[in-house]
Copies of this chain bind each other. A is one copy, B any other.
Amino acid sequence: MLRNIPSILSPDLLWTLRAMGHGDELVIADANFPATALGARCHRLDGVTATDVLQAVLTVLPLDQFVPNPAVVMEVVDDPNAVPPIVAQFQDITTTTADNPAAMGKLERFAFYDRAKSAFAIVQTGETRLYGNIILKKGVIGV
């Protein structure tokens, strides 16, 4: 464990967050997400909720200010306007924690998979609520 850094950020996840650059994307995925199949870099946080991971990640990761939706979630299959409770929580956490608390975008299930495939990394959590998936685009820190 380290001082002042949330302890659920594992060594590999910290490495990834620090190595990512402007525009690189991180997927926080639920326990049913095909993360191993899609992601070249796949970190696991079994037993931890996606909302706890999002909260911890946003304390260190800046969000991109060059795009309108630096965070994107997955649409409910056959009900694109639905907002599952976990997605509402994602928005709350982003609003209160992120350095750049913009509104979230949305992607259809297979379009979400395609974008996840080219992400920098996927974090597979132990989240058992369906639709517990979110993509974050990293921003810059200047002087």
Query: Which residues of A come within 8 Å of B, CB atoms?
Result: 1-5, 7-12, 14-24, 31-37, 44-48, 52, 59-62, 66, 77, 99, 120, 124, 126, 128-130, 140-143
Contacts and interface: CB of A to CB of B under 8 A. Distances in A.
Copy count, this protein chain:
10
A141 B126 contact: no
Nearest to A49: B47
8 contacts: A1-B140, A2-B60, A4-B4, A5-B18, A7-B128, A10-B44, A15-B15, A21-B124
Given A3-B60, A34-B24, A37-B120, A46 B140 contact: no
Given A7-B141, A20-B36, A32-B142, 18 more contacts: A1-B141, A2-B18, A2-B141, A3-B59, A3-B141, A7-B126, A10-B18, A10-B44, A11-B15, A11-B18, A14-B14, A14-B15, A19-B36, A20-B37, A21-B37, A24-B37, A37-B120, A128-B141
